[in-house]
Structure formats: C-alpha cells, structure tokens
Structure 1
Amino acid sequence: MADQGARPGAVSPPDDWPADPAVGLALNRMGGFDWDLVGGALHLDGPALEVFDLREDEFDGRGESLLSRIPPEEAERVDRVVRRAVETGTDRYALYFRIRCRDGSKRWTHSQARIRRDERGEAVRVIGIVRIANRDRADAAARSELDEGRRRLTDMVERTTALLSTAETVQDVIEVLEDEEALGHLRAESVSLGVVEGTRIRLVAQGRNGPFAPELQYTRIDERFPMGEAVRTERPRFVTSREEFRTAYPRLWPHIEPLVVSSGAYLPLIAQSRPIGVLAMLYPRHGDFSDSERALLVALGSSIAQSLQRAMLYDQEHDLADGLQQAMLPRRIPDIPGALTAVRYRPARIGRSVGGDWYDVLPLPGGRVGLTIGDVQGHDTEAAVVMGQLRMVLWAYAAEGHPPATAMARAAAFLHELDTDRFATCTYVEVDLATGGLQIVRAGHLDPMVRGTDGTCAWITTTGGLPLGLAAEFAGDGGIDYPVTTGTLGPGDTLVLCTDGLVEEPGTDLGERMNVLAEAVRTGPEELPDLADMLFDRLGTQGGGDDMALLLLRRDVRDGRSRRAARPRRTR
C-alpha cells in the first residue's frame, strides 16, 4: 500500500537538451547574420549561406559579395529599407526580397533584424536572421486571391440586389439573372430559374447552354433532381463533382454529361417561410464551395426570393387587371356597311398595368356610325371599372337616338353622380357614311385627325368642352353643354382617333409629338391594319408608359358593298 499514489520515475532528458538556438534555426532553414556597420564586415552562418545559395568559398565576408545573388532592383529596395531604419532611429526592420539562385531561379527570402546603437545613438551593428519565404508569398497570394474573390462576390451581390430592387415582373427578374454585370461575375457556366407551381417546378429561365430537354421543363418536387431536393429540404444543395452528379442524379446526368460542368449550386428561394422557386448555377470548376461563397450565395438567394415573390404578385395582379380591362373593351368590332375599321389597344406599363382607355364603334340607324374614344384618369381597377360604365352609358344614349352633344352631356352627368373623384376625357364622332357628314363632340380629349386620299393629313380643329366629371361642377343653370363641330369625311378618307398615350412622351412638347403622329399617319401604309400596327410600333415604344388606344375608320363606298371590319387587335 505504501506504493499507492507514488509518481512514476522522471524520464531523463536527451544529452543535448535543451537544443542550442543555432540548431533550432538551422532545422527551420533560418540563418543568422551579423553586420558591422562601422568596419563593413558581414558574417553569415552556414544556414544563412544556404538561404543565399552560396558556398563558404564564394563568400568573403563583405556585403558586396551578396550582389551576385541579389538582383539590382531588389538590392536597391533592401538598401532603402535598411537606410531608412538607421536614419530614423528605429531599432528594428523586416522585409521580403528576392534572390537569384545558382540555377537562375528566383527565391523569396525574409529578413528581420535588430539595430544596435552606441551611446550617441549612432547605428553600429545589425544582427538578424534570414529565411526562405516562398511559402509566405504563396500564402499571401492565395489570401489576396481569396480576398479578391470575396470582393468580387460581394460586389456581385450588391449589384444584383440593386438591379432586383427595380424588377417589377418575373421577366425583369430573369433579365437581371442574365445580366453580365450581375450574376455574370459568378463565372457560372449556366444560371437557371425555376418557380414552384403546386407539386412541380417549372423552368422559366435557362442560361447560356440553352434550354434543357423538354422533359426537364417541368419536374416534380419529389423526384430525384437537385432542384427538387433544394425545394423539399429548403436548404441549399451544393454538388462538387461530375461523379456526384452522375451518382446522385442519374436522370439529370445525361443532360449534364455533354456540358463543361463539374459543380453546381442549387439555392431554394424562400419567401414568407415557404419555397417559391429555386436558382441553379452550374460551374466548370471542380471542387467544394468555400464558407464565404456559400454564405454569399445564400444571401443572394434570399434577395432573389424577395424580388421573385414581389414580381409574381405583380404578374398575378397584372393578369387579373388585364382580364378586367379586356372584358371592359368590345369583344369585336361590328361590320359597318360602307366603312373599314381597325382598332388597337396596349395596356400601361405603370401602376397595376390597367388603365381607363377605351374605344367603341356603334352602328346607328340611317347608315350612320358612332365612334367613341376616351381615357379615364388613373391606372388601377377603379379606372377600368369607371371606363366600362362610361363606355356602356355612351353606347346606350347613342343607341337611344340622342344626338352627340346630348349623349356626351348625359355621360358627364352620369360620371358626376357616380360619386368618384375620377374624371375622363372623351371624343364622340358620328359619321354619316352616305354623305360623309361628321358631328364631333370633344370633352377635354385630343382632336380627331383625317388622312385624305390626296396624301394630306391634318387635325380637325374642334370646339371642346370640359372633361367628363368636371363639366357638371362648372355647369351653369342651363346644365351641361357640349358644342358640336361639323365636317366632312370624303370617300376613301381615313378618320384617326387616339388617346394621349400614343403621342405623349416625357420631356417632349405635346405639339411636336402630335406633328410626329400626323407625319407617321401621312406616310404610313395604305391598309388600315398595317397602318395601325405601324403607329403602335413606331410611336408606342417612345411613349411614357401610359396605356394607348387607337381607332381608325375609312369611308369606303366602292360598289356600295359592306366591308367587313378588322377584328380588334391587342398589342403588348
């Protein structure tokens, strides 16, 4: 029991313990030097000679003897650093410099030293060490490359986020993903975007490699694909080799195999705690993704998810508004004996992309036809609803046989009684197709235009009244009154009615734009559908994003036969 708890006997240290400091330096390929600044002598020990790739018989103890190993530009830099340390009174220095080895190759070395001074502060001696530092420079280069990569990824995320902040539609988001100034900096071979639709994922964008096979356009979330896995788990999926693609996703592999792709990142796009899509990026490189890359890609996925959700909601609202707007416009233009017609409509690209522009063609007894075109203030659902009500009211009053001025006045009173703060501009033209007689009533809207068979084109100056909705507020005791302007539409002449979205352009004088429209009508195609298309293609792209409506009517008296009207065409 007496031995219990006894400490084991101490082990004797080696005979050469502790090691001489010189041994430790030599084993770590560090050499020492001692430089006498007063006498000029320089001592290098054996390991220091190895650092400089010198034999003992090649070094005579003078600093000049090292010049065969130190290139001139490096020697100048070493001298400058040492001189500055000596002259500024510091007691140490350190620097990297390159030497030229015996075989002509270059080697990075590192030197650090202490400066000894006399009682007057004058430097008299430098004692230090030198060592081979190739690994240091390689590590520094790697760190620099890594830092540059991080900066590049950070800049890319910032650039992409800035672009996404302005994206309104899913197509806008897709264009950001294709922007070389955004995700182009990821150096991905391909960038794809899939959206979740029930139990499936639908590819809505495909990268530079072109579309995948049709069977990959739609895939089920529970199928063995990396996109589905990212959505199911709500976690990023990083594939780091071609072998992993082949073994983990055998159905995808035949489509990956011919591509220059060795890795991939699949990011679930999660908004309001549910996956709404997935972003896939394929890379030609082989290997894992660093922690910083993964963090930045996850941050990127979060930003894209928020923008995609906003864009999807916008598109849904646009589709609903689009359907409402379409329902409010005439489904077809009726056949008008003695006339040819063409209509066009393009929705706005601001607000919810629904507006109050409308047109209508109303067959009337006695060979007459009523034409209306108008614009309700605003770009929202209320504007579309008010537009539909006004269109039907004008149609009803005209069908009852009321003259143009009375129909317009009653429409103005109707809008006032709706208790809405919206107003509307409108032009109503009644055409006698037998005589060409025109009766024009204008409520704050653009004048009509006529293109003659002789090649002339001019606006019809009409006396106008206040917009509907405002007229009732300023009406006197005699009620709302709209003046009527008369004119004549000759055989073969074309009447042009449009809303201001076709002529207005931000920063441009309206009069100049109206002249541009007149010139386009004058020189445009002869056939009405072609003329309508040309006007929208040429002028519609220059507009300010407002919705646009166009109505063309040509008095056609050839053989007195009925000419079938062109069906309404809606452009985007």
Structure 2
Amino acid sequence: MTDQNRPPVPGPPGRPADGAPAGETGTAERLALNRTGSFEWDLDARTLDIDTAGLLVFGLDPASFDARPETLADVLEPAERARLDAATEEAVKGGHNAYSVHFRVRLADGREQWTHVQGRILRGGDGRARRVIGLVRDATAEVTHSDFVLELEKRRRRQTGIVEQTTSALARAVTVDDVTAALTGPGGTSRLGTDGLVLALLDNSALNVIALSGESPKVLHDLGGGRLDPRFPLADTVLSGQPRFSGSLAALTRRYPALEPHAERLKFEAAAYLPLIAQARTIGGLALFYRHRTTFTADERNLCLGLAAIVAQSLQRAKLFDEEREFATGLQAAMLPRRIHDIEGGEIAVRYHAAWSGRQVGGDWYDVIALPKGRCGIVVGDVQGHDTHAAAIMGQLRIALRAYAAEGHPPSTVLARASRFLAELDTDRFATCAYAQVDLGTGTVRVVRAGHFGPLIRHMDGRVGSPRVRGGMPLGISTDFGDEEYPETRLDLVPGETLVLYTDGLVEEPGADIDAGVRTLIMEVSAGPAGAEALADHLSDRLWERWGSGDDVALLVLRRSPDPGSPRAPRLHQYIHQADPEGLSEARTIVRQALSDWDMADLADDAELVTGELLVNVLLHTEGGAVLTLEVLPEPVRRVRLSVQDRSSAWPRRRSPGETATSGRGLLLLDALTARWGIEPRGEGKAVWCEIGPRETRP
C-alpha cells in the first residue's frame, strides 16, 4: 500500500489529522465538538485511558486525571454508579461483546447531564475480557427530546383512550337513559377524563338537565338547567353554538358575574362548556368540570369538542329511538283493551310488554270478554310478525273474536269463525291463540287453542299442572287447509286455583330450547305469590326482564277466589287430574294434614281411607278428573264432610261382592266408616259425599 492510499491517522485533539487538508477538522476534533470522547479500559492493568473530550463530558480536569477508573466513578452519585456498574458487569461476565447504558452526571455548576456510554469488549483466546474500548457522550438533548416525545405520546394515547372508551360505551346505548347511564354510571367520569359533568337537552326555550355527576350536584343542576339565560355559561354556549373554556373559577366568574353568588359552593377549578350539535342543529349542552386543570391546550380543546360530537350523535340516535318506541307502544296500547273490568268470584291480572325494537311492534294481545250467565271469556294470542301491520291485524282480529264470543257461541265455534275472518282479510299473516270460557261459580273452564301454548294451572298447594289441551291449526291457516276443527277440553278450577295464559315471549330464552323456558315458567308460577296481580308482576320481573326484550309478551292470570270457610268451619278444595299419577297420593296426604291442622287428627285414618276409595272409583270408572272438597261442619255436631265431584251421570250401585271379588265394596265401606253419606246431582255430573265423626244418637 502506498502512502498516497494509506487512510488518515487520528491526531491529537484540536489538530488536523494526518493526511487531512489544511483548514479541515479531524475525526477526534469532530467528536470533541459534539461532546463525544473515546476511552480504552485495560481490565488487567485496571487503568482507564480517556481522551480530553471524554473527560470534559464527565466534568473532569484532564490535567489532574490519574487514569484510575475509580476517580471517574467517584463523580457519579451512588444510584447512577450502580446503574453503570451493573450494565458493565453484566456484559463482561455474561459473555457479551458490547453494552450501552444511559446515566446521569451532576456537573460542578449543579446542572444534571444525561451521559451515554457505548463500549465494545475485547476478549483473549480463552474468552476472558481483556479490554473495553468505546465512546462516551453528552446525551442530554437526546434524552430530553425523547422524554418530551414520550410524554406527548402518553398524552395522545390517553386522549385516544378517552375517545375509544367513550365511543365504545355509547355505541351500546339505545335509549336516552342508556346514554346518561354510560356518562354518569360506574367509571363514567373517569372514562371521560373529567371530575364531573352536566348534560342538558334543549326543549323549546328551556334546558332540561338529564345527567349530572360530580360534587355539588344541586348547584350544578341549578346552573345547568332552567330557562335559556345567557348570563350562565351552559345556556350561553347553547344559544351561541360556541364552546367556552375556562382555566380557573375566578376567570369564569369574571366572564359570568351571575355565578359569583354560587362560587363558594362550586368544587371545580376549570370547566369546558360545549354545545351538542347534531345534523347542524343544537340539541343541548355538555359541561365538563376539572378540579385542578388551569389551561386547555389545542389538543385538549379538540378532545373536548370530539367528546361533545360523540355524545351529541348518541343522544340524537337515542332520542329518535325513544320517539319511535313511544309511537310503537302507543299504537299497540290503542289496539289492546283500555281497562279490564273486575270479575265476580275471582281476580284477574293482565300484562303486556312491548319488545325494545323501535317501531317493530308485535301482534301479541290479551282480552277479557263478559259472557251471558255470569261467565267470562279470556284469550291470549299472537299475530305473526313484528311490525305495524301485525299490530293492525291484531286489533281487527281481537275485535272480531270478542264479537263472536259475546254472541254466545261455544269456544270451538268462536275460533273457527275467527280463523275464517283472518283468512278473508287481505293479508298473508296467521295467528295463534288460546281461548277459554270460564264459569267461576262452578269452576268449569272450557279451553280451545289454535297452535298456541296451553294454559297452566296452579293448585292450592303450589303445584303447577300443564293440562293436556287438544288443539287445532293456527287461525287463518286452518281455513286455508279446510280444517276448522278446534276441539274443546274441559278443566275444573277449584277455589283458590289459578289459570295462566301466556305468549311465547315469556318462555323464549335466546339460545335455549323453548321447553326449557316453559319449565322455568312452571317453576316461577309455583314459587310466586298467590294473588293474581302479585303473580303477574313476579312473572314479568323474573322472566321477561331475564330473557331480554327481543319479543312482545302478553300474560293473563286468572284466580278463582279461595273458599277457606270460617275459622270454626274451615274448608279446602283440590282437583285431581285423571292423568296425574301422583294426584291420588297427594290428595290423601292433604286430607291427613288438614285434619291435623284443624285439631281433628283422630278422624284422619277414616277420612284418608274414604278419600282413596271415592277417588279411585272416579278415576277408574269415569273419563275425567275429580274435585275433592273437605270441610268441617259447624257445631253442635263436629264432623268432617268429604265430597268428591265428577262429570259422570252414572251413579254407583250397591252390590254384594263375593269373597274373591276385587271391587264392589265401596258403598259397604261408606256404611261402615261414615255417619252419613249420599249422592247429589251437580250440573253435568254428580257428587258423592259423606260425613265422618260421631253418629247421631236416637232417642
């Protein structure tokens, strides 16, 4: 290699490097001008060779430096020295070839300087570290700028988080109440980055406060709501459409002197008053309060304006939903009976819950119809679809079914005519319903259903039955297919029992089989209170709100008045269904328990035996269930009267059974165990009765 091609050799600091043109600076000088020096640390000799620029970075005098590493380390504070030692030791002992570390150096003039050391470790053939060479430089400007950038990035992340969290919370808000809950509920103010807020909507010439959070709520309410008075900041913002930012309470009161009397009660320092503008129209105002903030930067003002825009759009959407819902529920309410009249011999409760889906109203309905001879008709139904057309069809069908029922037709005819009426309308909709004629005087219930759920019956002891009610096709479809048969099923409602009719919205649980919903309904009917109104409220609270609000719900609860007798002559009634295998055993248990409660346990064995005999006779030899009545006759003769009523007109006959006969001893048993017995005609059937107790003494 010729001298001409040899690379330049660094010379002493301050002098041009060899080979460098005159007037130009060498490498070492350029490093020194940038407050960067170099060093070589001999680990075996424990000496440190550092150039003048490097010593100046540490604030050391080059003339007095003794080449000892400890002299340089003494310049550092203990924490910073530990930071440097840890980085170096980790690199040397960890087998690394290089390391880099930032630490602080306090200079003689008191300034704090960030210093950066970058070293390369030179190792021998055995892998042991021999020397460390590297650079040391003043990194204060770099670190300070980095801290500024990090702080700026932190603020921006915080602002972005506020916007994202607020947008996410309000995206789930459907109604105006949902919006206010998102702003004032748990985490609402922290989500917005504020210490309090007032949200008000414009209503003609007034501001109505709809949300309030923070300290001094009464004062904030008084200052935020009321008539539009420009002497107050929120009203001024709404009227002008311009935001107002105040960094201190003193500045705010100077601008709005009307606030002066309230200043001592206000627990905030800074405030942002923002107009809520949606579709180029001011719909209200939002005030954000801060305890400590004294200035609003450009970014913070933009953040507040962005939050106001998000809130305004959410409120506009929520107001539209509330208006649509009010329209929908108003339309639905107009189609339903305005008032349910009281009924003699019982109590009735109805509930209707509209789906939370804007104008998409459903076709669910209920009705109670007065019928001749003191009877009443009850109906619950559902027209296909969830729109205003379904509601309109429901209204027409309800009126038509009411008219057919009021004419005195039997239930099967009422549904057949209603199906024909629906088929003749200009619609492709069908409907399902359950209709029953109820005579509360006798407890007779005649039920028909058209593709709908059958009724539930809650017995006096809390058990809930689901009678097998035969049914026909949905209304409208049955006529199209030429099958308008709706067979009747007779049920008996004893005093104190409750009949429940409902639509599918009460038992539809999203993602679950509808049979599971019916089982849950049966459980809740059994666990609920006895009264019709209380039970209707219980079912609404436990089921409609539990499943959600995706469908309409119509619910009707009818309870026959209980017949407890009197304290001295108590009475109970129980219906035993023919298809209920547990009914006979439960009836015997109920009789024994009742007599024990009435202090007549000495008659329980005979009464239980007679009860079983009479009920078995009905269940084996008739085609229906039986109504058991147990009562205590008034004094002077204290006896138990037991009656079993059925629908059969065939009277029992006295027979003489042989020794091996398995039946025919019922009347003989009555003769042996009872003081008196007899048979009475009861409407469509009969009642076999007996009295158990002391026999009459004849003179």
Give me the TM-score of the superposition, normalised by structure 2. 0.66
> Which deviates more from structure 2 when the two are superposed, residues 351-360 or residues 410-419?
351-360
Alignment of 1:153-552 (within 5 A): 153-178=159-184, 184-209=190-215, 211-213=217-219, 215-216=222-223, 218-255=225-262, 257-352=264-359, 354-476=361-483, 480-545=484-549, 546-552=551-557
Change (3 A) 1:35 1:495: closer
Secondary structure, aligned partner of 1:467:
coil
1:69 and 2:75 matched: yes
> Which deviates more from structure 2 when the two are superposed, residues 361-370 or residues 64-73?
64-73
Where structure 1 has 5 or more consecutive residues not aligned to the other structure, the ranges are: 1-20, 116-123, 561-572
Structure 1: how far apart are the matches of 2:520 and 2:227? Answer: 53
Query: Offset of 1:557 from its aligned partner?
Result: 7.4
What's 1:97 paired with? 103
Query: Offset of 1:180 from its aligned partner?
Result: 5.3
Secondary structure, aligned partner of 2:167:
helix
Count of aligned residue pairs for this structure pair? 515
Query: Offset of 1:349 from its aligned partner?
Result: 2.0
1:60 and 2:66 matched: yes
1:398-428 Cα offsets, whole Å, 9 max, x none, are 1122221222122222222222233221111
Q: How many percent identity over aligned positions?
A: 43
Change (3 A) 1:442 1:128: closer
Query: Offset of 1:396 from its aligned partner?
Result: 1.2
1:215-251 Cα offsets, whole Å, 9 max, x none, are 4463333422222232223232212111122222333
> Which deviates more from structure 2 when the two are superposed, residues 551-560 or residues 233-242?
551-560
CA contact 2:382–2:503 (8 Å) conserved in 1: yes
1:159-198 Cα offsets, whole Å, 9 max, x none, are 2223322321111212222355665233311122211112
Q: Quick one: which amino acid aligns to residue 552 of structure 2?
A: D
Structure 2: how far apart are the matches of 1:315 and 1:469? Answer: 34
Structure 2: how far apart are the matches of 1:558 and 1:31? Answer: 104
Q: Quick one: which amino acid aligns to residue 41 of structure 1?
A: D
Structure 1: how far apart are the matches of 2:394 and 2:263? Answer: 53
Which structure is higher in RCO with an 8 Å CA cutoff and minimum separation 6?
A: 1
CA contact 1:528–1:552 (8 Å) conserved in 2: yes
> Which deviates more from structure 2 when the two are superposed, residues 485-494 or residues 56-65?
56-65
Structure 2: how far apart are the matches of 1:485 and 1:36? Answer: 106
1:264-309 Cα offsets, whole Å, 9 max, x none, are 1222221111111222211112322222222233222222222211
Query: Offset of 1:310 from its aligned partner?
Result: 1.0
Q: Quick one: which amino acid aligns to residue 550 of structure 1?
A: L
Structure 1: how far apart are the matches of 2:475 and 2:64? Answer: 105
What's 2:11 paired with? none
Query: Offset of 1:33 from its aligned partner?
Result: 4.4
Query: Offset of 1:59 from its aligned partner?
Result: 2.4
Change (3 A) 1:267 1:469: farther
1:438-467 Cα offsets, whole Å, 9 max, x none, are 211111111111112243320121111222
1:331-376 Cα offsets, whole Å, 9 max, x none, are 2111222222122222222343632222111111111110011122
Give me the TM-score of the superposition, normalised by structure 1. 0.80
CA contact 1:371–1:430 (8 Å) conserved in 2: yes
Which is higher, the Rg of structure 1 or of structure 2? 2
Structure 2: how far apart are the matches of 1:523 and 1:109? Answer: 74
Q: Quick one: which amino acid aligns to residue 417 of structure 1?
A: E
Structure 1: how far apart are the matches of 2:327 and 2:260? Answer: 40
1:524-551 Cα offsets, whole Å, 9 max, x none, are 2122222221121222222242222221
1:13-45 Cα offsets, whole Å, 9 max, x none, are xxxxxxxx9xxx9xx998674647899532436
CA contact 2:432–2:475 (8 Å) conserved in 1: yes
Structure 1: how far apart are the matches of 2:36 and 2:494? Answer: 109
Q: Quick one: which amino acid aligns to residue 177 of structure 1?
A: L
CA contact 2:189–2:195 (8 Å) conserved in 1: no
Change (3 A) 1:300 1:195: same
What's 2:664 paired with? none
Change (3 A) 1:165 1:374: same
CA contact 1:51–1:132 (8 Å) conserved in 2: no
Structure 1: how far apart are the matches of 2:291 and 2:197? Answer: 12
Query: Offset of 1:324 from its aligned partner?
Result: 1.8
> Which deviates more from structure 2 when the two are superposed, residues 429-438 or residues 175-184?
175-184
What's 2:49 paired with? 41
Structure 1: how far apart are the matches of 2:190 and 2:132? Answer: 57
